[in-house]
Chains A and B, each alone.
Chain A
Amino acid sequence: MLDLIKLIRDVLLADATITAYVGTRIYMEGKFVGNTENDYPQITIAVLDGPTDSLTDDYYADLRINIWAKGSGCRTEAGLIAKQILINIDKKSYLANDPIVYQLWKSNNIPLWEEDTKVFHRVLTFDVVMAGHGGNL
């Protein structure tokens, strides 16, 4: 089965514009690394488990890509990264082994501001359907 987080990470790392901003600071959610100026911007990726259609065996999930930026112009910087991410993976499908196809498309783009840490946080959420194969991502 395809590792969706790894796949998305590889897609983002292959984009020179994104790596120019974040370097290799693309992590799984829960593995947030550092909180100093040098640790930003960074991206964390999470997959939220969803239901399986018992009839078609399609599996639904939510993909969340968090962009964290700090410092002057952090809002614009996070916005530019988000835009570049969407160029790469908005409305995409990936073929895994056998007839398993992942389809994903953007469902939300939420800007958040943390007043205490002065971190700008942008959340991109995607609907994911793994067609024809139920199970965990």
Chain B
Amino acid sequence: MDVKVDIKGVGETINKIQVFNDIAYSELGQAMFDSVNDFINDAKYFAPVSAYGSHGNPPGYLRDHITGRVISKIRGVIIIGRIRSSAKYSIFQEFGTTKHRAQPFMMTAFNKNKFKMYGRFKKAMQTAIQQSSVGRYYGGGAVTKQGPSGTSETTLFG
């Protein structure tokens, strides 16, 4: 006696997952980029600025040396946002010394943006699920996109 089992739609499912991966990578990458930008702006806002400069550097040296970038590793499986304050005395500003108290600017900026980041990543994942037809299995949905001149475009799934 022979038992034959056919699984249909494997190729289609793999294709859909691939499409989902591509869209998720793009959406999450954009979310990370926006988050890093917000973080940098806030870190610069909270960074202390000495009117006369410090450590032989001009005023605003610490603030002007806060940079960030988005890195993708293992073909987009990991997306990393890295924010760096490259002034050598940054860590002493952040955590304080025996001579002056801490003026935390990096952690303050992170705390301010924490929930905004979570929300952004959540929205990016939802968009990716809806835009790829993987969302169909979850009952479908609708995606509304804001156009460049105030127009909006809605795509329905399901």
Asked whether A112 and B104 contact (CB < 8 A) given A51-B115, A60-B114, A121-B97, the answer is no
Does B53 touch A at the CB level, under 8 Å? Answer: no
What count of chain B residues pass the 8 Å CB interface test?
A: 16
Q: Are A62 and B107 in contact (CB under 8 A)?
A: yes
Interface bin, chain A: 20 to 34
Q: How far is the CA of A121 from the CA of B99 in the complex (A)?
A: 12
Q: Are A51 and B91 in contact (CB under 8 A)?
A: no
Q: Are A117 and B99 in contact (CB under 8 A)?
A: yes
Question: In the complex, what residues of A have CB within 8 A of residue B111's CB?
Answer: 48-51, 60, 62
Which residues of chain A in 91-137 are interfacial with respect to chain B, using CB atoms and an 8 Å cutoff? Answer: 110, 112, 114, 117, 119, 121, 123, 125
Q: How far is the CA of A35 from the CA of B100 in the complex (A)?
A: 12
**Interface residues of B: mostly helix, strand, loop or mixed?**
helix
Q: Are B98 and A64 in contact (CB under 8 A)?
A: no
Question: In the complex, what residues of B have CB within 8 A of residue A112's CB?
Answer: 91-92, 95
Asked whether A121 and B95 contact (CB < 8 A) given A32-B101, A48-B107, the answer is yes
- Tell me how far the C-beta of A83 lies from the nearest C-beta in chain B, rounded to whole angstroms: 19
Does B67 touch A at the CB level, under 8 Å? Answer: no
Chain A positions near chain B (C-beta within 8 angstroms): 29-30, 32, 35, 46, 48-51, 53, 60, 62, 64, 66, 68, 110, 112, 114, 117, 119, 121, 123, 125
Which residues of chain B in 93-123 are interfacial with respect to chain A, using CB atoms and an 8 Å cutoff? Answer: 95-99, 101-102, 104, 107-108, 111-112, 114-115
- Tell me how far the C-beta of A27 lies from the nearest C-beta in chain B, rounded to whole angstroms: 11
A107 and chain B: residue at smallest CB distance: B107
A118 and chain B: residue at smallest CB distance: B98
Question: In the complex, what residues of B have CB within 8 A of residue A30's CB?
Answer: 101
- Tell me how far the C-beta of A62 lies from the nearest C-beta in chain B, rounded to whole angstroms: 6
Cross-chain contact of A35 among B91, B92, B96, B98 (Cβ < 8 A) = B98
- Tell me how far the C-beta of B105 lies from the nearest C-beta in chain A, rounded to whole angstroms: 11
